[in-house]
Each structure stands twice: as C-alpha cells, then as structure tokens.
Amino acid sequence: MRHGQRNVLGGELEECSTDPMTGYYRDGCCTTGPDDVGSHTICVVASREFLAHQESVGNDLSTPRPEWSFPGLQPGDRWCVVAARWLQAQQAGVAAPVVLAATHERALDVVPLQLLEAYAADVPDDPGELL
C-alpha cells in the first residue's frame, strides 16, 4: 500500500505513473496530505482534449516546467490531477479517463464515485499495445 493510503474503490492506492513521475510528492502515486491544498488525487490518462481544456483555463499541463519537476504531458500520459480541475473538465465535456485503482479516496470529497466510475479506464502499462 502506498503510504497507507487507499483508492476510491477502498483498496490499496496503486501507482499512477513513474514515467513521467507524477504525484504531488513526485512518488508516482496520487498520495496526498495536509500540504496538498489542491488535492492532486485523480489519476487520469491525459487526452488531447483534456490537455487543451486545461490550458484554456490557465492550467498548462503540456509545457515542461523543470523548476517544479514537471516534464509536460503528452496524450496518453498518466498524471495525478487536482480533483476540482478534473470536475471542471468533466462539466465542459472533456474529462480525461480515470484510473480508479490509482485515484486517492480523498477525490471523493470533490467528485462522486459514480461520476468517476463513468470515466473509468483500464489502460495497459504500455499504451502502445492498443495500436
């Protein structure tokens, strides 16, 4: 279990991504704590539409920001996003798919489980397998 934290399904929090290395704590997981004010708790598979929407609302996830250990995302990358930002994208019709087993239970403070389940993705570790 990742730091004793649980996912939205009630199980052990699974890894979201180590390539690129994600998480508020850059530990590969959507772990959270009191200093994670934004609640970076939803593990998504970034889509082109989601990334474009985030940039349009002032949250540029595509441009590398080395000072924040942020590589910049490409479609298909897994990343821990702020729960309220995901919900904002969902309301705009461009929500990214969600990896439920890697989404922290604290996301449920912002987004209902039923809504997350509607966007659940089961993506292999190597998305190239889908081609």
Which residue reads 């798919």 in tokens?
97
Contact 85, 41 (CB under 8 A): no
3-state secondary structure of 6: strand
Per-residue pLDDT of the chain (131 residues; tens, 9 = 90+): 456 899 999 999 999 999 999 999 999 999 999 999 999 999 999 999 999 999 999 999 999 998 877 889 999 999 999 999 999 999 999 999 999 999 999 999 999 999 999 999 864 555 554 44
For the whole model, what pTM was predicted?
A: 0.89
